[in-house]
Amino acid sequence: MIPVQGFSGKTVAVLGLGRSGLAAVAALQAGGAEVVVWDDSPDAETKAADAGVTLTNLTKHGSFKDIATLITSPGIPHLYPEPHPVIARALAEGCPVDNDIGLFFRSFATSEWDEFDSIPKVIAVTGSNGKSTTSALIHHILEHAGRPAQLAGNIGRGVLDLDEAHDGEVIVLELSSYQTDLARALTPDVAVFTNLSPDHLDRHAGLGGYFAAKRRLFAEGGPDRAVIGVDEMEGRYIANQLSEGPSDDRVIRVSAGQKIDGIGWSVFARKGFLSEYRKWRQVGSIDLRAISGLPGVHNHQNACAAYAACRALGIGPRVIEAALISFKGLPHRSQLIAEKVGVRYVNDSKATNVDAAAKALAAFSKVRWICGGLEKEGGLDALLPAPTVVKAYVIGREAAAFAMKLKGLNVEVCGDMATAVAKAGAEAEAGDTVLLAPAAASFDQYDNFERRGDDFAACVAELAD
């Protein structure tokens, strides 16, 4: 646990008693704070009692008179489409609002670090797609290189659940826009931006607000090194703002499709080969094509970002290459579930938006595509014409409406996962890939994308070999 500093003897309010909220309660108490909480769920009283804190209605006038700060969970809206009533009350009464990420950055460093030979580092990863794989890949490379490391944030453990840092340790954090948007402290040593595509637009009042939330990690944090994906204009904009010129190697530009050799430091992948250029000459190269845990151009971008972040810490190219080869990938992200009679079954349930699904489709040839769910803003046109798709099998409560938007494709409305997997499996031929890449949220039929991916895997297991 990371005891929270700066609130000893003060009262702090926590909104939301999910994973991050409960961790915040414990970490604040460990730092000497008096904690009160509010949660909207029916079992809030039980949760509060189990955590040893007082459930307090914080929506009333004057609720924040004696409260030093309000800590909110990332899933709770704090501005758009409208703030939660407790947050609205805190804003009205001038109480600072923060989250567990802000608490982590203000509390991670301690006086004990004065005795360390090597100061701990923090790598923070954000972006629309690939941040989970990139974060896990960085962590995997660090462990392979023998560097002590912990992985947390939007993946794995909550940030305040981390163990206190060891000498020379590296903390890898995956940060969502919900987390970067509100944190009052953001000070990573290395910050990574993978890419940007429309997502969570309701929470950020459009694409501009969504980008601004991501950009805060770089504008507010002032990292020593920034790894920036520049395949979109937003990434090029961030890189330009952080750099003092072409020779400034504090910014490492990353691409999954273009050669970048006219600047101080770059890492890019073309035709399956990763190249590192520094001071206008190539200093490293890796063949990514045969690495089974990193299929497709989108995963090559993830590999470039992870490679660059680890090179910024001084890890050698050959060490990184060996780690990439041994990486098995993450569940629900281009995960090979099975191969039956020459047909591969791949679970990419995490492809919850159009851009992620398009990249997943491009990673395979002859795809039998299982898609559908709770459609996000922006429509499906960016997926088309989807030349690798042999046939689409649409699931979800609004499967018929979703299917109608897949113009030009051979489409069958299936409704549920079991039907879609059974039909795709029966029609697939050797060399085909049955791919779950929904291009939609899961909440119409599942609690989360993990449950959806697990259902896909269970249905595949029922198919005959």
The residue whose two tokens read 């972040």 is: 309
- What gap in Å lies between CA 233 and CA 464, rounded to an integer? 47
What are the tokens at 103? 């608490």
Give the ranges where 205-346 is alpha helix by DSSP (H): 207-219, 233-242, 296-312, 317-326
Nearest to 304, CA basis, from 330, 268, 257, 280? 268
Which strands form 389-395's sheet, in the order they lie side by side?
335-340, 343-347, 433-436, 367-371, 389-395, 411-415
Query: Which residue type is seen at 77?
Result: P
- How many CB atoms are closer than 10 A to CB 246? 10
Q: Is 433 assigned to a binding site?
A: no
* Residue partners of 449: CB distance under 8 A and separation at least 6: 332, 349, 350, 352, 438, 441, 442
111 annotated binding-site participant: no
Contact 221, 188 (CB under 8 A): yes
Please indicate if the annotation marks 127 as binding a ligand. Answer: yes
Tell whether residue 130 is among the known ligand binding residues.
Answer: yes
- Both tokens of residue 125? 């990863």
CB neighbour burial string for 203-228, b if at least 16 within 10 angstroms, e if fewer: bbeebebbbbbbbbbbeebebebbbb
What is the dihedral angle through the alpha carbons of 30, 31, 33, 35, rounded to the nearest 10 degrees?
A: -40
11 is in an annotated binding site: no
**Distance in angstroms (rounded) separating the CA atoms of residues 415 and 460:** 16
Sign of the alpha-carbon dihedral angle for 158, 292, 126, 317: positive
Q: Binding site membership for ATP: which residues?
A: 127-133
Q: Binding site membership: which residues?
A: 127-133
